[in-house]
Amino acid sequence: MGVGEILGFDEAGEGPLLVLIHGFPLDRWMWVGQFEGLKDIRRVVAVDLPGRGRSLAISAKEATMDAYADHVATTIVALGTLQADVVGLSMGGYVAFALWRRHPHLVRSLILADTRAGPDSEEGKAARGLNADKVWAEGTVALVEGMLPKLLSPSARHEVVMQVLPMFEDTPALTAIADLIAMRDRPDSTPTLATITVPTLIVRGADDALMGPEEVALLARGISAAQTVTIPDAGHLSPLENPEAFNAAARAFLGDFLP
């Protein structure tokens, strides 16, 4: 994939553009509940970051949060609109920070879901390398055992588990490795927070085992125009686990500044 190419996506609805950026090691399917729930107020576009689903592959050397953000920016422009409401979950949030730094004029508002501003700790960086080795040897499914219990709440419905597993299976090993390296090497977005001037909603699943309430507090302290909401009965993948509550929060937020 070259610099700033159009990503593959699915879309539904009409109106102002709402771009959904998925987490790791997932794809556009994680937003299945947002198509139905938000398509009457927005043109909902869920992208596949490079190397999965409908998007072309990227080499691990080229994969950075900045490169991912540039592809999202090109996609927004190609969709024929000047600005988008941008939703990023977890890794998608890291991409959203990069999008804001590099292409702020394209961002009308932000929904930062189950994500954090800070970089990986030294321990976290080392774990990225170990996970990359594991994926290289056994494929992306090798991450299921360690990650799945952290992505979903203990009470997650079987149906939700069955939505998540195929995304692990369908993410090519080289893509997962590229993501892991790109996440490990991502910059600290904490200094970015004070620069965010657009309306921002910070969302966290009440049972998110990966992003604690302290991450929300840090985001809320740093972003002046931020509201926060907790999604009950949901873990890290709050839009997938409790789409009703997630969509209700998104609708209330997006409805505040309908054009």
Could you list the residues that contact ligand MLT (CB under 6 A)? 23-24, 90-91, 183, 210, 236
> Based on CB atoms, which residue is closest to ligand MLT, 66 or 79?
66
State the nearest-atom distance from the C-beta of 173 to ligand MLT, in Å. 16
SS3 50: coil
CA angle 12, 17, 23 (to 5 degrees): 80
State the nearest-atom distance from the C-beta of 102 to ligand MLT, in Å. 20
Two tokens, residue 90: 């977890």
Q: What does the alpha-carbon distance between residue 36 and residue 186 come to, in Å, rounded to a whole number?
A: 33
CA angle 221, 227, 232 (to 5 degrees): 110
State the nearest-atom distance from the C-beta of 167 to ligand MLT, in Å. 11
Q: What does the alpha-carbon distance between residue 108 and residue 100 come to, in Å, rounded to a whole number?
A: 10
State the nearest-atom distance from the C-beta of 214 to ligand MLT, in Å. 15
State the nearest-atom distance from the C-beta of 93 to ligand MLT, in Å. 8
Cα 84 from chain centroid (whole Å): 15
Stretch (H or E) spanning 113: strand 107-113
> Based on CB atoms, which residue is closest to ligand MLT, 7 or 183?
183
Cβ-based burial of 200 (10 A; exposed 0-12, middle 13-18, buried ≥19): buried
Stretch (H or E) spanning 174: helix 173-184
Q: What does the alpha-carbon distance between residue 188 and residue 33 come to, in Å, rounded to a whole number?
A: 31
> Based on CB atoms, which residue is closest to ligand MLT, 52 or 236?
236
State the nearest-atom distance from the C-beta of 154 to ligand MLT, in Å. 17
> Based on CB atoms, which residue is closest to ligand MLT, 210 or 220?
210
Two tokens, residue 231: 């999604």
